[in-house]
């Protein structure tokens, strides 16, 4: 009996939700390629696509409106508990507030969990900065309302479109670490809040959803395109991992990197300006790819979703400390869909471990 470290290559679930083609660099979500969704379907429509068949009452529901109403419902939790989390970092505050949503497997619980990350992260950021949280507007789309409650004023439609494209891009992605965590908990029939809390905790780490903040730290440290070669060589010589590069499944460029680069360029176009930060990032990316090929010749390391996530969220003026929270705003629909699929069709997930410790002394 051998151990598959990292469960590499192990298929642990059948799913109708998404397919990640790591060799070809394609992502399919419920029968649509990423290109057919990003910039073509609003986030709410992609949520409806992901959740289809998993909840009674979903067919025919106006999800934009129901999500707006759910935002207003969970905002009541902010009002009740505002002093309890004002000092916590945004991710921890968001997770603590989500944990207070009663567990359940019904559509109402799902809607509150879908709404919660956007509401709680805006409130947490504002409270930490000594500002008042802003009440959700139930008539707005999720992206528009998130930016409005975060900034305190209505966002330009180019900004809303860019955020919406981001949320669609990250909505689901096979059996990544956070989704697997959600499915493990769902397999015990614990309830959707428990599944989302498990997923959030897995997402937080820098090898998964915690990478985009450090991508910007890297760009700041490099400073100019001329410094990229020496800085990256030194980082690789130390054995550091370059944030925003490499992936367990993709052996080619992550298709989400291109989708987000496109969204960023469209945002810059809508604002009518070129972006020096983007020019620096593209230079750093090219240097990093060349050096990764040279230093890790046996391994196909390419740009992953987090590199352009960092640039897009920075351009949208989202604080660096909240990047992973915004990932959760987009991914929570995927977690809930996977959790429901697991509960309805799956079996308790209970793999084996191989004991390599000492045996008891013979009596
Ligand atoms: N920079 C430098 N070297 C790297 C990188 C990187 N970003 N990624 C992998 N490598 C190297 C490893 O050091 C290892 O080298 P070695 O064989 O000489 O020891 C080799 O490539 C293989 O690495 P693994 O650990 O097998 O790759 P794994 O599949 O476990 O890791 C991961 C995937 C965690 C994403 C990794 O590429 C990484 O740490 N990247 C940086 C963090 C990051 O961007 N995370 C976001 C991922 S996307 C997402 O989850 C949403």
Query: Is 142 annotated as catalytic?
Result: no
- Which H or E run contains 61? none
Q: Which two tokens stand for residue 78?
A: 């902010």
Sign of CA dihedral 13, 19, 21, 25: negative
Mode of pairing for the β-strands spanning 18-21 and 26-29? antiparallel
- The Å distance, Cα 208 to ligand 1 centre, comes to 10
Residue in the structure block whose two tokens are 């409130």: 123
Residue 299, ligand 1, Cβ within 6 A: yes
Q: Tell me what pLDDT residue 273 has.
A: 67
- The Å distance, Cα 245 to ligand 1 centre, comes to 7
Q: Tell me what pLDDT residue 363 has.
A: 67
Q: Tell me what pLDDT residue 270 has.
A: 85
Between CA 111 and CA 114 the distance in angstroms is: 5
Contacts of range 233-237, beta carbons closer than 8 Å, 24 or more positions apart: 233/291, 236/291, 236/292, 236/295
Counting ligand 1 atoms within 8 A of each CB, the residue from 217, 218, 240, 241 with the most, and so the one to mutate, is 241
Per-residue pLDDT tens for 7-31?
999 999 999 999 999 999 999 999 9
Residue 294, ligand 1, Cβ within 6 A: no
Residues 275-306 as b/e (b if ≥16 CB within 10 A, e otherwise) read beebebbebbbebbbebbeeeeeeebbbbbbb
Between CA 44 and CA 71 the distance in angstroms is: 13
Counting as low any pLDDT under 50, the low residues of the chain are: none
Q: What angle do CA 106, 33, 170 make, to 5 degrees?
A: 55
Q: Tell me what pLDDT residue 83 has.
A: 84
Residue 296, ligand 1, Cβ within 6 A: yes
Within 13 Å of residue 235, how many CA atoms lie on the same side as its CB? Answer: 20
Q: Tell me what pLDDT residue 2 has.
A: 87
């Amino acid at each position: 009996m051998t151990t598959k470290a990292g469960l590499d290559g192990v298929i642990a679930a059948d799913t109708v939700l998404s397919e990640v083609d790591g060799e070809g660099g394609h992502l399919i979500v419920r029968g649509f390629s990423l290109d057919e969704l990003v910039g073509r379907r609003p986030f709410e429509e992609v949520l409806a696509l992901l959740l289809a068949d998993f909840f009674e009452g979903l067919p025919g529901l106006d999800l934009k409106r129901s999500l707006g109403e759910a935002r207003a419902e969970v905002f009541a939790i902010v009002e009740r508990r505002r002093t309890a989390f004002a000092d916590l970092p945004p991710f921890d505050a968001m997770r603590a507030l989500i944990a207070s949503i009663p567990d359940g497997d019904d559509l109402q619980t799902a809607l509150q969990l879908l709404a919660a990350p956007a509401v709680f992260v805006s409130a947490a950021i504002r409270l930490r900065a000594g500002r008042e949280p802003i009440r959700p507007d139930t008539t707005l789309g999720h992206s528009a309302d998130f930016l409005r409650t975060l900034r305190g004023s209505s966002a330009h439609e180019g900004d809303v479109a860019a955020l919406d494209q981001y949320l669609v891009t990250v909505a689901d992605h096979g059996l990544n670490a956070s989704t697997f965590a959600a499915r493990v908990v769902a397999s015990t029939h614990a309830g959707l809040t428990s599944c989302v809390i498990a997923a959030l905790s897995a997402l937080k780490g820098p090898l998964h959803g915690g990478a985009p903040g450090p991508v910007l730290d890297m760009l700041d440290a490099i400073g100019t395109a001329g410094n990229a070669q020496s800085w990256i060589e030194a980082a690789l010589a130390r054995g550091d991992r370059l944030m925003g590069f490499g992936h367990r499944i993709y052996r080619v460029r992550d298709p989400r990197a291109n989708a987000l680069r496109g969204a960023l360029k469209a945002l810059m176009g809508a604002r009518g300006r070129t972006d020096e930060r983007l020019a620096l990032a593209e230079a750093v990316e090219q240097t990093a790819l060349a050096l990764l090929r040279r230093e890790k010749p046996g391994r196909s390391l390419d740009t992953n979703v987090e590199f352009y996530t960092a640039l897009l969220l920075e351009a949208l003026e989202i604080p660096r400390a909240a990047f992973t929270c915004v990932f959760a705003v987009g991914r929570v629909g995927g977690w809930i869909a996977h959790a429901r699929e697991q509960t309805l069709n799956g079996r308790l997930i209970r793999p084996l471990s191989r004991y390599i410790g000492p045996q008891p002394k013979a009596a």
